[in-house]
Structure 1
Amino acid sequence: MKKLQFLTSLSLFLVGFLVFSNLQAQNQSTSTLYFPPVGQEIWEKMPVNQTGWDQGKLGEFLAWMENTNTRALIILKDGKIVVEEYRGNRLTGLGPMNEGSLWYWASAGKTLTATLMGIAEEEKLLKRKDRTEKYLGKGWTSMNPKEEKAIRLIHHLTMTTGLNDRGIDLDDTDPSSLTFLAKPGTRWSYHNAPYILLKNVLEAASGQPFESYFKEKIGDPIGMGGFWQRTGKNHIFYSNARSMARFGLLLLAQGQWEGKQIVNNDFIQEMTSSSQGLNPSYGFLTWLNGKSSFKLPAVQREFEGSLVPSAPSDMYQAMGRNGQFLMVVPSENLVIVRMGAHSDTSLIPYRLIRDMWDRFAPVIQ
């Protein structure tokens, strides 16, 4: 009995020690980060020779990127700019891209919305376990009352609402397009409409326009510009590459900006962890690397292995059509932004991000 008590005490001590060590390492990593001033265009740079990276391999990587129709590329190390390049014309076609040029985030904006949901929950404006109809009202779908009532906010965050995604416009939020296919939480599907409806949820919960709530809670506190705009039936965020990098730095810093907690660290940890067992490579509207398997949009097949095999296993990404990427790598204190176009027009151009890391991994190893 004494031996069992000793082993139990030892196990508890080791668990506590590991948790403490992990938190200490996280705090130490965060304390070394640089944050660009809010309201200013100043952003400190880090010379490549201070990174410890292979400069020759970096040159090869950047040369390859020139042929990928990339319009903006930013690489941050410890919050400082190591690489910042712009190519091609602006989204409007009027003039060349530069640090002030706006570009669309596409589905990379999902991670922005997830973060805003975390802030709203911290402010006790909503709970992820709440029924969706509490905020959208009864009849927001075409399902019977029992089926509709079963859908909760957590299902929107994890892409597991069970709403039918077959043969319809996936951006259509009209109740006539929202029908039953499976019980909530039993099927993972990359269905845009349930995500788009989170805008309405946040407006109902906060009592203010979505854009205003976003600007107040995330945009202004970290000096992030940009705007939300209805594009087709979707709700898309537009900004310059530096604003995307600022948001990535906020995530890397576990939700804080220069010592001020913008979003709860626990929520960031949950958002960037497997949110369900149906697709381990998906958190809260955020893609995860280093998991045992992954699923892709419009495909119910499960693929074995990591989403981006050559990238660090702790990387997580906001990803959008045509290669709008925001990559965060805590183990390397890295934030990588890629905006542009690409011939791979799939909803999540994972081949492009794989190709990027096949060439970038040797740079930092």
Structure 2
Amino acid sequence: MSKGLPLFFTLLLSLTVHAENWPAEQWSTGPTVTGPALQALETYAFPTRDDTTRQGIRTDALLVIHDGQLIYERYAGPTRADTPHLTWSISKSLMSTVLGVAYGEGLFKLQDPVLKFYPALAKHPAMTMADLLHWASGLDWQEDYEYAPLKSSVVAMLYTRGRQDMATFTANHDEYAQPGQAFRYSSGDSNMLSAALKSIVGATRYPDYPWTALFDPLGIHNAVWETDASGTFVASSYAYLTARDLARVGLLMARDGRWGDRQLLPKDWVAFNREPFAHYHANEDDAVPGGHWWLNRTVEGAAQPWPGAPADTFAALGHWGQAMYVIPSENLVIVRYGDDRDGHYQHNELLKLALKAFAAKVQP
């Protein structure tokens, strides 16, 4: 009888324990998905388009990870599997993730004044790290893009008056609200976080820190992150990753900051990222702000932003249709790169079609 116990427990464990999949140098592949639902997704994501007008949806890459395995991948145009693509504002969520490693090292607290790490904020001593992560600095910032360049703070920061030192340019703005009391999306807030990180980890570690802290542990070897003339990473805009590499960050977040046996991000950091900003009031923004991530959560006065997806969906989003969606309840990470200039691309539509194509088919 005693000889049978090990076999019994082995069989029992094989039925109850699900082995996790983690990417090695390459992603392992799961079952191929086919059928009408996939065709509908591809029709939406990869339509015939006249690039001379730059009108309509243009998807450069679409990649789906289920349960740690690559189950779908398609590229278009010049983008390939080994192309580091400009992520635009997905860079903001990447900076939050890098900061999470420093937070786990005990190098700062969410309620620390940013002034402690960034003296250029002497005019704004009450601003905290959490305020910046919520895009709630209170600074009078205008996040208008190429369609309204004359009044745009971000255009001036990236391309004209502020491009030499983007964080200092931001810090010199006046306040329109008390820090932490109002949401106003700001690429400048993200670049002040990047400048604070330089002091948090030290000038010696800083130039390599995104790699040593995050990219290398995840097996990301081809990331590019531009700096401004002051040597500060442009956390608002200028990180470049392949779709496969960005999906590694999504898997890390889907699994609450754990990578294999290592808790790379503290669980409370990931929980903070995925909690809505308490003083957010719904407006025309497409999703609910968390800690430098975007959430599919209901808030007072507004319905769920993406009703076609589960409420636990959260995302890193960027200009012209860059997106990484993380759906923990479905064990899915979806990366989408594109070049959409006219607003035709809709997050909810892609999520709805992707879930029809993949969620029902990948259940055990």
* Normalised-by-shorter TM-score class: 0.7 to 0.9
Q: Is the 8 A contact 2:281 2:299 kept in 1?
A: no
Q: Which residue of 2 aligns with 1:152?
A: 128
Choose from 27, 33, 43 the match for 2:20. Answer: 33
Q: Which residue of 2 aligns with 1:58?
A: 38
Once the two structures are superposed, the pairs formed by residues 238-249 of structure 1 within 5 Å of their partners are: 238-249=240-251
Distance across 1 between alignment mates of 2:281 and 2:303: 12
Distance across 2 between alignment mates of 1:124 and 1:264: 10
Distance across 2 between alignment mates of 1:282 and 1:255: 19
Q: Which residue of 1 aligns with 2:13?
A: none
Distance across 2 between alignment mates of 1:165 and 1:332: 37
Q: Does 2:327 match 1:354?
A: no
Q: Is the 8 A contact 1:314 1:331 kept in 2?
A: yes
Q: Which residue of 1 aligns with 2:294?
A: 287
Cα gap change, 1:327 to 1:189, in 2 (>3 Å): same
Secondary structure of the corresponding residue to residue 346 of structure 2: helix
* Worse overlay, 112-121 or 189-198: 112-121
Q: Which residue of 1 aligns with 2:285?
A: none
Once the two structures are superposed, the pairs formed by residues 153-168 of structure 1 within 5 Å of their partners are: 153-166=129-142, 167-168=151-152
Distance across 1 between alignment mates of 2:220 and 2:302: 37
Q: Is the 8 A contact 1:290 1:312 kept in 2?
A: no
Distance across 2 between alignment mates of 1:44 and 1:175: 43
1:124-172 CA-partner distances (Å, limit 9, x unpaired):
21112111111111x436x4xxxx1111111100111110024441344
Question: Partner amino acid for 2:174?
Answer: T
Q: CA deviation at 1:266?
A: 2.0
Choose from 83, 86, 93 the match for 2:75. Answer: 86
Once the two structures are superposed, the pairs formed by residues 194-213 of structure 1 within 5 Å of their partners are: 194-207=189-202, 208-213=204-209
Q: Which residue of 2 aligns with 1:227?
A: 224
- Structure 2, unaligned stretches of length 5 or more? 1-15, 48-56, 143-150, 283-287
What do you get for the CA RMSD once the two structures are aligned? 2.3
Q: Does 2:211 match 1:215?
A: yes
Cα gap change, 1:220 to 1:65, in 2 (>3 Å): same
1:225-263 CA-partner distances (Å, limit 9, x unpaired):
302114797551101111101111111121111111111
Choose from 173, 177, 188 the match for 2:183. Answer: 188
Once the two structures are superposed, the pairs formed by residues 303-342 of structure 1 within 5 Å of their partners are: 304-342=302-340
Question: Partner amino acid for 1:140?
Answer: L
Q: Which residue of 1 aligns with 2:145?
A: none
Identical residues among aligned pairs (%): 25
Distance across 2 between alignment mates of 1:267 and 1:176: 25
Q: Does 2:100 match 1:118?
A: yes
Distance across 2 between alignment mates of 1:235 and 1:195: 9
Once the two structures are superposed, the pairs formed by residues 96-111 of structure 1 within 5 Å of their partners are: 97-111=79-93
Q: CA deviation at 1:275?
A: 3.0
1:158-192 CA-partner distances (Å, limit 9, x unpaired):
11111002444134431674211111122100011
Q: Is the 8 A contact 2:182 2:279 kept in 1?
A: no
Q: CA deviation at 1:352?
A: 1.9
Choose from 13, 34, 43 the match for 2:27. Answer: 43
Cα gap change, 1:80 to 1:113, in 2 (>3 Å): same
Q: Is the 8 A contact 1:106 1:236 kept in 2?
A: yes
Distance across 1 between alignment mates of 2:224 and 2:170: 27
The structure with higher relative contact order (CA 8 Å, sep 6+) is 2
Question: Partner amino acid for 2:239?
Answer: F
Once the two structures are superposed, the pairs formed by residues 17-32 of structure 1 within 5 Å of their partners are: 32=19
Distance across 2 between alignment mates of 1:337 and 1:279: 28
Cα gap change, 1:124 to 1:321, in 2 (>3 Å): same
Question: Partner amino acid for 2:23?
Answer: P
Secondary structure of the corresponding residue to residue 149 of structure 1: coil
Cα gap change, 1:32 to 1:266, in 2 (>3 Å): farther
Report how many aligned residue pairs link the two structures: 304
Distance across 2 between alignment mates of 1:116 and 1:154: 15
- Structure 1, unaligned stretches of length 5 or more? 1-27, 90-96, 294-302
Question: Partner amino acid for 1:192?
Answer: S
Give the TM-score normalised by the residue count of structure 2: 0.77
Query: Which runs of 4 or more aligned residues in structure 1 lie more than 2 Å from their structure 2 counterparts after TM superposition?
Result: 170-173, 208-211, 230-235, 357-365
Once the two structures are superposed, the pairs formed by residues 65-84 of structure 1 within 5 Å of their partners are: 65-67=45-47, 68-84=57-73
Q: Which residue of 1 aligns with 2:276?
A: 274
Q: Which residue of 1 aligns with 2:261?
A: 259
